[in-house]
Structure 1
Amino acid sequence: MEQKHLLIVDGMALLFRSFFASAAMNQFIRLEDGTPSNGVQGFARHVMTAETLFQPTHLAICWDMGAHTFRNELFDGYKANRPAPPEEMLPQFDMAKEVSTLLGWTNFGVVGMEADDAIGSMVAKWKDEAKITVISGDRDLLQLLNPMTTIALTKKGYTEYNMYTEQLFVEEYGITPPQFAEVKAFMGDASDGYPGIKGIGPKTALQLIQTYGSIEGVLANIDALKPAQRTKILADTDMLHMSHRLATIHCEMDIALQLEDLRRKLYTTEHAQMLEQKGYRLIAKHARSLGVL
């Protein structure tokens, strides 16, 4: 019986990573009409390389669908301080989805939700049907680890990852993966714009959850804490709960797709021709170098 292996790609993470890796050297790899394509071409090459490394039977690319999500409704400051994407990147969001479709990859995203939520919902839906590998640069996804799911955090180039299994995570952090969102609730996340408990950093946040198991466990033992910690937490309990809601990946999205809809397709010379006609020659060249075209 076939062992199904679903590769879920955080499209936003790879697109941003690819864009900034080359934009820093002013290499925008423009198409004939002048449109920058560096992020798109890097993103596609990264995914193709991942296919050869992980040999999945199924593949999905998850995307944010706009900057405004349900988390902005919960908290005005959510991601409020993030700079707007550079002008050269703006056309590449749609271009990346177009290239994905051209190559037979399934794009998935829902307006009002983040790519993380799409990934989490896919993991929840198919964790009993397939081995799952998630590619991203976002450590928040570690809360999704389970016995059938591995998180591959981008490290260097297209081939190096920090591979996290549930067992490795428990050994390294001393908590279970779902408890990671509770750690984040205490320490906050400057990049996502929620403060957690001011004055409590990652080390203390982790120690609190290791010791008391949960936010409710900490609050139930508040008198056992150091006076300074007690004061900080009691002053910001509402924000603590809000930060937990913001940090928790929503895993209950309705996914109309079936697992078989995500089955990988073989590449053909037609794919190469379409890529080259549209100006994506680096992707076609990379595919040939991998031996998939």
Structure 2
Amino acid sequence: MTTKKVLLVDGMALLFRGFFATSFRGNFMYNSKGVPTNGVYQFLRYLTDAIHTFEPSHVVCCWDMGSKTFRTEMYNGYKANRDEPPVELIPQFDLVKEVVESFDIPNIGLENFEADDCMGTLANMYNPENDVFILSGDQDLLQLVKENIRVIIMRKGQGNYEVFDKDNFYEKKALTPAQIIDLKGLMGDSSDNYPGVKGIGEKTALKLLQEFGTIDELVNNIEKLPKGVQNKLQTDMDMLYLSRTLAEIKCDVPISCDLEDSKWNFKEEKVTSALDKLEWKHVDRLLAPIKDQTSVSF
């Protein structure tokens, strides 16, 4: 049996990245109806380049479904530091999903959960018999790396990727994928706005995990730690465990996506028809990276 190669796309990460990459000079690419389309355009540039580069046989796009999730219920400060999305981006949330649908790529998301949780669930659902690649700019997803699951981190610049797998992970991060969760528990995450243990930064957290392995072992051996570190842990013990819980991606979300429904089968005429409604020039250039993959058979 031929092993399938599944690309799981962090849709919101690509859309936000694309929006801000093209809008910093006020380039919102309004169509004749006054709807901005710049984020969707750059999203597709990222998507087509990744499909060209990694040649998946199947593609799924996962989305956040609102700002309220089970994590905000656990900790009301979770992501509370983030501004409202720019008004020019809001109409592009639905628009980008319509464009993704024109490629016959499933859009997957579930209220109360994040796209990360959906990707973690699907990755673990598919990986026993398939190679899974997760495309994002979010390093929280690195905790998902294991046998047959790779995480592709988008770096600055078009087509600049760093791929993490089980063989190169320790060399790159000096930790195992599972320890990424405990790292965030100790040091917190300023982007997601949870604090971890006050006074413990990345350098100290990394050293502690390299010595003790896990937060549980660290706490069990707390008397072996310097007094200053002991005091910090004891003061913020509840937040330590809460931060670890917030950092962990759920891989048992009640979603499903039949692999056959995500088969990459690019139909140029259907996609071009959808994109023409956005009034973009040079749609052929946008689709050029994937045209040579329309007849790939898996």
Per the normalisation by structure 2, the TM-score is 0.94
Q: Which residue of structure 1 aligns with residue 38 of structure 2? A: 38
Amino acid at match of 2:2: E
Amino acid at match of 1:166: K
CA distance in 1, matches of 2:2, 2:193: 44
Residues 68 and 284 of structure 1: CA distance in aligned 2, closer, same or farther (over 3 Å): farther
Q: Which residue of structure 2 aligns with residue 144 of structure 1? A: 144
How much has 1:266 moved relative to structure 2?
2.3
Q: Is 1:10 aligned with 2:10?
A: yes
Q: Which residue of structure 1 aligns with residue 71 of structure 2? A: 71
Q: Which residue of structure 1 aligns with residue 243 of structure 2? A: 243
CA distance in 2, matches of 1:173, 1:289: 32
CA distance in 2, matches of 1:276, 1:44: 14
**Deviation string for 1:189-241 (max 9, x for gaps)?**
11111000011001111111111111110111111111111100000000000
Residues 232 and 167 of structure 1: CA distance in aligned 2, closer, same or farther (over 3 Å): same
Unpaired runs of at least 5, structure 1:
none
Q: Which residue of structure 2 aligns with residue 210 of structure 1? A: 210
Q: State how 1:59-98 maps to structure 2 within 5 Å.
A: 59-98=59-98
Structure 1 vs Structure 2 CA RMSD: 1.4
**Deviation string for 1:259-281 (max 9, x for gaps)?**
11211112222321231134244
How much has 1:127 moved relative to structure 2?
0.9
Q: Which stretch shows the higher mean deviation, 283-292 or 26-35?
A: 283-292
Counterpart of 1:156 in 2: which secondary structure?
Answer: coil
Residues 32 and 163 of structure 1: CA distance in aligned 2, closer, same or farther (over 3 Å): same
How much has 1:169 moved relative to structure 2?
1.3
Counterpart of 2:168 in 1: which secondary structure?
Answer: helix
**Deviation string for 1:20-69 (max 9, x for gaps)?**
00111211111111111100111112111111111100000000000100
Report if the CA contact (8 A) 1:145-1:151 is conserved.
yes
Residues 287 and 138 of structure 1: CA distance in aligned 2, closer, same or farther (over 3 Å): same
Q: Which stretch shows the higher mean deviation, 270-279 or 135-144?
A: 270-279
| Identical counterparts, % of pairs | 39
Counterpart of 1:88 in 2: which secondary structure?
Answer: coil
Amino acid at match of 2:153: L
Q: Which residue of structure 2 aligns with residue 57 of structure 1? A: 57
Residues 289 and 192 of structure 1: CA distance in aligned 2, closer, same or farther (over 3 Å): closer
Q: Which residue of structure 2 aligns with residue 267 of structure 1? A: 267
Q: Which residue of structure 1 aligns with residue 225 of structure 2? A: 225
CA distance in 2, matches of 1:222, 1:59: 46
Report if the CA contact (8 A) 1:41-1:283 is conserved.
no
Residues 247 and 289 of structure 1: CA distance in aligned 2, closer, same or farther (over 3 Å): closer
CA distance in 1, matches of 2:201, 2:234: 16
Q: Name segments (4+ residues, structure 1) moved above 6 Å.
A: none
How much has 1:121 moved relative to structure 2?
0.5
CA distance in 1, matches of 2:202, 2:262: 37
How much has 1:290 moved relative to structure 2?
4.7
Amino acid at match of 1:19: F
How much has 1:156 moved relative to structure 2?
3.0
Unpaired runs of at least 5, structure 2:
none
Q: Matched residue pairs, number?
A: 293
How much has 1:284 moved relative to structure 2?
4.4
CA distance in 2, matches of 1:215, 1:288: 48
Counterpart of 1:128 in 2: which secondary structure?
Answer: coil
Q: Which residue of structure 1 aligns with residue 169 of structure 2? A: 169
How much has 1:159 moved relative to structure 2?
1.0
CA distance in 1, matches of 2:261, 2:10: 18
CA distance in 2, matches of 1:115, 1:283: 28
Q: Which residue of structure 1 aligns with residue 160 of structure 2? A: 160
